[in-house]
Structure 1
């Protein structure tokens, strides 16, 4: 039976067998770097949360991210059409959590931002372990996508690690799940199941590092009849254990630390992503990028998400290698101060 994440003021650390019933962050014994207990209001302002739902297919790539940074809430949505290189993008930024809500229950709650004729909503349902993304834009663009971890017998990666001297991060991730739903937009109308779309999902929250960076690689799809998804990163969630893993037909395979090799002066040149344990050996050829940069003294962000194709091999410790050929996905290079 699921339990709250925090017990006796401390979080459960490591890879968890199942999601916590709730992320009860106000029960955390939050202290300053010098050991002084923080007031409840300091806990509220230091706690951050975000959620992401992405869809990948040869015909359409899309996704939505929602973040509660306390001083503001941010929503970002995109659609990318590989055949034309065209994109639809929309970003919302609202002060102090206005017109938004963020559930603290990873498997049964709603995170949503709605303002100025735009709605971005992420639903997690315990019944059927179902995830749903609903986006409606003022220009008529609409995306309604969903998948069931239970139906496809997927187990998410649930991990909690320490962050800096006085924090922690809980992350719950899954990738490579067959996706259903519809998209209506200027790029065309799409039935996600009919175009063979696969989904990935990320629910993360905690007392994150004030200043951080990361590289991330993700994909979801079908390779030689095997449903494949991976979540690979460097720079976050790496205290004692990593979040790196991949799924083959729903089976979770844990991976050691990963390395990202790329040209920082030109991120649109080829990348190499590989793991210390030899399970992951990938090349990545960029096709396009979304980027933005903000430097506002107390907060800052340098974000680059690059769309492209992976080639390479995943080699399970106890199974047959899986080859990836011209496999759509993306990588990130990000710095954040929040």
Structure 2
């Protein structure tokens, strides 16, 4: 485990990223200090340094009756955002998408712990990391409100950086099962946040030209307490993984997982399993937020499902945590950028 001082950058004095899991989040990425080179060890051009960098910020808010997903993604050639409301009882998905060529008018946070990511349109989204807490402002026909995702008195976010491809890296910071305070309205009606939990995702770096991942996420109240789960395969898998869970604020790292699904039959259950048998879960998809774009040089096949998880997870204590129709998210994504 690598411990970072509060003022540390991700990039070290030799121009290389620090790799592995971190005790505390990175406060500065230090992109200008990164010695970005081609696969033939030549310094890259200024255009390559700019266009090869990608960054995403995502927030999910989960309630037993509804699910909200909010994202801003900047891939340099364009920026896009989405915001959706999933009604679990009616099985309806109300969504909106925003696209900005060349990321015009889009701002991204310069740090995982400070700055603001924002996009304006039919739905205005403003995401502000504030240390261990995140703040969210929404304004539009569907969702309006100001919220704070609170990490609590002893926060334990997931923070790691792994080598990506031959000459890149990816920094990821996530925290699930966070308390939500503030106010939020969906189409003019107030939502009850007292039993809602939230999670965030800050991911950035020089990723592969063709990138894929599969992912599962939970923020839910169980009989054992507030539970968060993050499982992924793809992107962060060189030397370590981003798989972990939180139970009442305590983080437990998990090993690698295999996430299996039938892309041609998206409503069939997904299988989440690990070689050490600590994870044995099924995900049952319900509503899907989907986008397909194929422009040759650029392409994206994105599916994020709202659904339910069932199965078992073995905790560090040796106790088995049983999940029975617990609401959560799962995602399958291919990108060429």
> Shorter-chain TM-score category?
over 0.9
Alignment partner, residue 172 of structure 2: 171
Alignment partner, residue 145 of structure 1: 147
- Report if the CA contact (8 A) 1:26-1:40 is conserved: no
Alignment partner, residue 111 of structure 1: 117
Task: State the distance in 2 between where 1:272 and 1:242 align.
Answer: 18
Selected match of 2:29 from 9, 12, 23: 23
- Report if the CA contact (8 A) 2:118-2:127 is conserved: yes
Task: State the distance in 1 between where 2:116 and 2:312 align.
Answer: 36
Q: CA RMSD in A?
A: 1.5
Shift of 1:44: 1.4
Alignment partner, residue 63 of structure 1: 69
- Deviation sequence 1:243-301 (CA, Å, 0-9, x none): 11111111111111101122222021112111222221111112221212100111101
Shift of 1:233: 0.6
Q: Where in structure 2 are there 5+ consecutive unaligned residues?
A: none
- Report if the CA contact (8 A) 2:145-2:183 is conserved: yes
Shift of 1:187: 8.3
- Deviation sequence 1:65-96 (CA, Å, 0-9, x none): 11111111111111111001122211111122
Shift of 1:106: 0.7
SS in 2 for 1:12: coil
Shift of 1:121: 0.8
Distance 1:320 1:47, change over 3 A: same
| Runs of 4+ residues deviating >3 angstroms | none
Task: State the distance in 1 between where 2:291 and 2:149 align.
Answer: 30
Distance 1:93 1:184, change over 3 A: same
Q: How many residues align?
A: 331
- Report if the CA contact (8 A) 1:124-1:130 is conserved: yes
Matches within 5 A, 1:108-257: 108-115=114-121, 117-126=122-131, 129-137=132-140, 139=141, 141-151=143-153, 153-186=154-187, 188-193=189-194, 196-257=195-256
Shift of 1:319: 4.5
- Report if the CA contact (8 A) 2:37-2:44 is conserved: yes
Distance 1:262 1:97, change over 3 A: closer
Task: State the distance in 2 between where 1:148 and 1:104 align.
Answer: 20
Distance 1:313 1:143, change over 3 A: farther
SS in 1 for 2:47: helix
Alignment partner, residue 326 of structure 1: 325
Task: State the distance in 2 between where 1:286 and 1:130 align.
Answer: 30
- Deviation sequence 1:119-176 (CA, Å, 0-9, x none): 11101112xx221122212x2531433222134x330111100111110000001111
Normalised by the length of structure 1, the TM-score is: 0.94
Task: State the distance in 2 between where 1:28 and 1:66 align.
Answer: 24
Task: State the distance in 2 between where 1:140 and 1:311 align.
Answer: 31
Q: Where in structure 1 are there 5+ consecutive unaligned residues?
A: none
Alignment partner, residue 291 of structure 1: 290
Normalised by the length of structure 2, the TM-score is: 0.94
